[in-house]
Structure 1
């Protein structure tokens, strides 16, 4: 994948592909769930609301329905019809067939449609050896407790399954969970009548106390007990003839060849059921793997955050970052149409407790009043540079060319700094191996629900991650909102590249590959304006994600390098690939599978698993909020973030990966600013009316505690 590919419209067909894949998975899983979920299999037969009609309660096990009447029939004396319920079963069906072949007799196999399509070889053997096939419905569910729609599907799908597996249709039906004819009571009786109206011959069984010599229909299961009972009956001296149901009744054959179209439908049904079974198994494994990885990630974040805190609480005596950094600092502020927030950004920088500052504002071809707003800030520390629009990387490089000092801080034009943020931000640069420092970015406009969700994401996803990345020495991004660099490091890597849309990530990775360390300073706090609409959020995260993928591909060779570059490549790129690209791609399918668990499987179990993960995420979020000095009341919106907000971010990842694979180059998406990065500060700190060189204390300064 080349980052400099042709610029064209982002791909659209992948959305149709995603929709199709999710629909196929959903349908396959629902069908598999329907196949494996019986309707009241343990329903008690003694709870029948009403007995069967007297005309049917004759003790005879075979029922014919015609002209609104029911007629019963049984086997002739000394004749036994052997019937087997369920299956075909790969273990017991072959043994039953071997037993019948050894005695030279035929039987009737009432099979489940779902098992017939899974074992077509056994179905062919049943037919080839002269046995009769009947319907035991598709899933073996209780038709008396089923809806009319399910009842119809149970019968029709079984016929389709038999057509595909054995090439036949059948008129024989045994209702599951019934034995003698009088067990067709209550709701079973209307189901039996409706089946009879469709042309089925409803077959029950004779009571076990009826003598085989009187003629019986015997019922056996596909179990060891069924095999032993069948073997015992075959030795009964009172039976002269063992036969199938239809042959024993002397009726026309109940089995007819299925039309070619029906056979094709049956083969398609078998493939659909197999697909559902494979997806269920695959998704179960995916859920296990993603669950383990999710727990592992939470554990890693917690553990490394604790390690990070202990390092800060008990620093080594003489550690370089304990020494004060008093070198002058150049702050570069790239700005394009940032009139709404640029004044608040400059006010916060000028109110900094840090001493010697040069602030370079690069007006990158703004079409609004950005330049005029900067000119109204009458402070000699602020320099305005105008240029035609070249994009953010170009504006940063222009600022770098105007930088007079060895320490450079890059700031977004919608960012508001805490008074002591610059002081804390540049302090780690006292260590000679540190080339860049990431600050702590917080969401300022968090009063609405979307802002609260982003606030939690910044605190949990960004700042906890950065603590872990620093401990592991693989920080992938110094955010554009607040980051400090050595000027010679920036010049050494060629400045800020425009090869990707995530120029901050690209730059950070280049610094690692140049042999420098990148650290995180949580006490350097800056407030940023987060998107206020879903459209703005989508565009921002799409650019971030796509640019990150570009940067990862650009610096992929870091995994084979030695030193800091290799540590970053193997740890940082590996983590980003697994947790921020690969796993989110499975999210839509996992969500479908979770919904499948609630609707089809055990809703209580699925809800319990979801709640357990939510509790763990809430605990991690609470710890992250505590580390950042934030109030825990923001946690109330976390469940809604998991259900809604996170799904949007997963779709962003899918869209970004599809765009990258299609080789599409995106243009820069600028977010519309409302100047709400820090509602606490913007109403308090006006621009300085008079120049006060070298005297930042002349501007109003508020402590963090006062502002909160």
Structure 2
């Protein structure tokens, strides 16, 4: 045994890498928080979009046949406009030969613009009772509607029967629609029509308290005299006939500009307007009807500017009258109606100019909905891409792994003459006192001739002393100041006496035949490096079992696929063999990235060397034993992989055999190890969303189908590696918990890649238990 010890000096100043590592460490917590915020934002976008489409919080109940004995007869038999001026229920009817055209359920991007065009061409105003969720999705249509001189009212936010809803839900339905109107057109309104309502005689004991409460808050509830029933699509002539009042009666007439195919409505509307004008009818808004009735009720018949339809002067208190900025008394603000809209013809007397907080909250709602409207379809498309990529990867792994297994186990397969010459095994070690003895003892039992080089990277726990005290033959201990794993490996390569070097971790245990199996591919002179089969030794814990499944399925099955495609992306740090000549040719282990193993593997590909996978060369490693250590390790792996891929992005344009990795491997690694995992949480988020709000059974069956495919792949991988299937019982729980953590780690890594930063070679806490359990399955 020989020992090399560098001279000791005064404490050195931190290196550039160490200073960068310090800065990066300070940024870790904010990046984790940002990753969580991104997932939260995605969830909020889904919930908002689902709420807009009545998938979240939707209620399709409609009450029919209820008693109306508590409703005053003067309301049941009164006109279609219900107010509560002075706290008393009052109904208003349209004057003779006066029609107020009303439209429900919009705005609709297809039909509402066509309705507006017909009204404009015939110089007729309309009153549109709008669904708040539709307003927030199509604000431009509402803006045009108001600018054209039409009047708008509230038709709730999600088109629910308010008689079933709590007081809090009713308040939200009204306030949210007011905010949508404020954001879309800069106004609020005091008109209201309940979904599923018709004439006043349909008011029952359940809906009456709702109308009374809204009336006390200053809302004017609007019903109908004449229903065109255009939603039934009975034909143009029937729609015109059913919308025509009897004799010369005035009427509030109901049409629909949304909620289905309104082609018949668009054809019937101009015919109806021309017919009624020919009969001497005039058209106005709901506020216009109320103004005409006020004028008619004055003794002198004089005309006057219409007061706000829902802010009667008899109710001056802001606690009882609606706020002009929101139309809801509970907001506690009473801003006068905008003279530009409340004066004159009375067409828009129910409108109030939105100002202050209401205006900004409304604009924020419109903006949030626009983001959700853009985000959800984009995510849906991404989900399709991810789903296809995931299933494609599973199919590729199964097909290519099976072919790889048959090829390598066939009788005719041979790497060439057996490799029997000695090799050098390099063991970089930093504070590995729990594991170093087991590691070196396992190497001493090797059936292949080896020299062992332990590079102690500034350990402070006596690792080097333990290695020396074992007295094992052929072991050299080299001490160096702490410089990181790449530097330790390069130091070992410089001291190696043989042309083949095996690199392993200080916590890894080899089987006696591991080195012999690992070096046989070097019989082929084109092979520059060999990846071994890393196994999780501490698999008895839940976290260990999850990682065991991942190693067998996610790593080793992948390596078979990449080997067959001749684009292996990574030689694992736990077990890998290299031609010393090839390592020196590419400049050794680089400190440019956190994934020095991926970095050198890609560099070897670009230098023209072949990299292969040797499944029979097994190494038992101690996987992280806690979630914190696991996060730290996988964060370094995923971030380092991104760094290596970016460093070697030039391989995309490499020509000849050395360009195969750039043409095949790099795109596959980016797709399968970066893009797909980053967007894979979409599958889980959409699954949960679908289970909660759409179709629980269908979503559950889809999730179980995907799990079944994964179990099939895992079972095949376990069969190839001759592992026991009992660990697959942990797989469903792994998909629910472990995989989510890996998603967050990758998102964390992506954020770090975008914001910059470096990490030093991180040391995980070891227990040394692998030494006792190596080879036990």
TM-score of the superposed pair, with normalisation by structure 1 = 0.88
CA distance in 1, matches of 2:452, 2:606: 29
Instruction: Output aligned runs, 1:67-82, within 5 Å.
Output: 69-82=88-101
Offset at 1:443?
0.3
- Corresponding position of 2:337: none
Offset at 1:7?
4.6
1:213 alignment partner, SS class: coil
Q: Does 1:515 align with 2:608?
A: yes
Offset at 1:529?
0.3
Does the CA-based 8 Å contact 1:444-1:679 persist in structure 2? no
- Corresponding position of 2:445: 351
Instruction: Output aligned runs, 1:52-201, within 5 Å.
Output: 53-55=71-73, 56-58=75-77, 60-65=79-84, 69-101=88-120, 103-185=122-204, 187-201=206-220
1:82 alignment partner, SS class: strand
Offset at 1:207?
5.8
CA offsets 1:642-663 (integer angstroms, 9 cap, x no match): 2322232233223333334444
CA distance in 1, matches of 2:386, 2:69: 53
Instruction: Output aligned runs, 1:291-690, within 5 Å.
Output: 291-314=387-410, 317=412, 319-321=413-415, 323-352=417-446, 354-586=447-679, 592=685, 594-681=687-774
Does the CA-based 8 Å contact 1:515-1:565 persist in structure 2? yes
Q: Does 1:9 align with 2:23?
A: yes
Offset at 1:138?
2.4
CA distance in 2, matches of 1:154, 1:645: 40
Q: Does 1:279 align with 2:320?
A: no
Offset at 1:581?
2.5
1:303 alignment partner, SS class: helix
Match of 2:61 among 36, 43, 51: 43
CA distance in 1, matches of 2:507, 2:662: 31
CA distance in 1, matches of 2:366, 2:484: 57
Does the CA-based 8 Å contact 1:41-1:141 persist in structure 2? yes
Q: 1:452 to 1:131 in 2, by over 3 A?
A: same
CA offsets 1:25-83 (integer angstroms, 9 cap, x no match): 43333222211117666534435476662433226433223566533333334443321
Q: Does 1:29 align with 2:70?
A: no
Does the CA-based 8 Å contact 2:137-2:373 persist in structure 1? no
RMSD in angstroms over aligned alpha carbons?
A: 3.0
CA distance in 2, matches of 1:80, 1:662: 63
Offset at 1:341?
1.4
CA distance in 1, matches of 2:496, 2:143: 84
Offset at 1:119?
4.1
Offset at 1:569?
2.3
Q: 1:491 to 1:19 in 2, by over 3 A?
A: closer
Q: 1:123 to 1:413 in 2, by over 3 A?
A: closer
Q: Which runs of 5+ in 1 are unaligned?
A: 682-703
CA distance in 2, matches of 1:507, 1:40: 56
CA distance in 2, matches of 1:271, 1:371: 62
CA offsets 1:325-377 (integer angstroms, 9 cap, x no match): 2222222222222221122222222223x242322223333322423433343
Q: 1:364 to 1:92 in 2, by over 3 A?
A: closer
Match of 2:284 among 243, 248, 263: 243
Instruction: Output aligned runs, 1:258-269, within 5 Å.
Output: 258-261=353-356, 262-269=358-365
Offset at 1:475?
0.9
Does the CA-based 8 Å contact 2:383-2:679 persist in structure 1? no
Offset at 1:411?
2.0
2:418 alignment partner, SS class: coil
Does the CA-based 8 Å contact 1:41-1:177 persist in structure 2? no
1:499 alignment partner, SS class: coil
Q: 1:132 to 1:499 in 2, by over 3 A?
A: closer
TM-score of the superposed pair, with normalisation by structure 2 = 0.80
Q: 1:122 to 1:671 in 2, by over 3 A?
A: closer
CA distance in 1, matches of 2:462, 2:760: 23
CA distance in 2, matches of 1:497, 1:103: 77
- Corresponding position of 1:224: 263
CA distance in 1, matches of 2:66, 2:58: 14
Offset at 1:525?
1.2
Judge which range, 622-631 or 124-133, deviates more: 124-133
Does the CA-based 8 Å contact 2:416-2:524 persist in structure 1? no
Does the CA-based 8 Å contact 1:3-1:550 persist in structure 2? no
Offset at 1:388?
3.6
CA offsets 1:509-565 (integer angstroms, 9 cap, x no match): 222222111100111111100011112112222222232233223333222223443
Judge which range, 567-576 or 47-56, deviates more: 47-56
CA offsets 1:382-417 (integer angstroms, 9 cap, x no match): 333344433323332333333333332222221112
CA distance in 1, matches of 2:699, 2:22: 43
CA distance in 2, matches of 1:535, 1:323: 46
Does the CA-based 8 Å contact 1:220-1:229 persist in structure 2? no
Q: 1:446 to 1:190 in 2, by over 3 A?
A: farther
Q: 1:14 to 1:130 in 2, by over 3 A?
A: same
Q: 1:586 to 1:508 in 2, by over 3 A?
A: same
Judge which range, 202-211 or 172-181, deviates more: 202-211
2:89 alignment partner, SS class: strand
Q: 1:658 to 1:171 in 2, by over 3 A?
A: closer
Match of 2:351 among 237, 248, 256: 256
CA distance in 1, matches of 2:545, 2:67: 56
CA distance in 1, matches of 2:51, 2:69: 30
Q: 1:411 to 1:130 in 2, by over 3 A?
A: closer
Q: 1:212 to 1:471 in 2, by over 3 A?
A: farther
CA offsets 1:224-253 (integer angstroms, 9 cap, x no match): 343455456542577744433333242545
Does the CA-based 8 Å contact 1:334-1:411 persist in structure 2? yes
CA distance in 2, matches of 1:296, 1:3: 40
Does the CA-based 8 Å contact 2:151-2:351 persist in structure 1? no
Judge which range, 615-624 or 382-391, deviates more: 382-391
Q: 1:176 to 1:415 in 2, by over 3 A?
A: same
Q: 1:8 to 1:663 in 2, by over 3 A?
A: farther
Q: 1:22 to 1:362 in 2, by over 3 A?
A: closer
Q: 1:168 to 1:381 in 2, by over 3 A?
A: closer
Q: 1:498 to 1:84 in 2, by over 3 A?
A: closer
Q: 1:522 to 1:75 in 2, by over 3 A?
A: same
Q: Which runs of 5+ in 2 are unaligned?
A: 1-15, 228-241, 295-305, 310-349
CA distance in 1, matches of 2:747, 2:354: 44
Offset at 1:504?
1.9
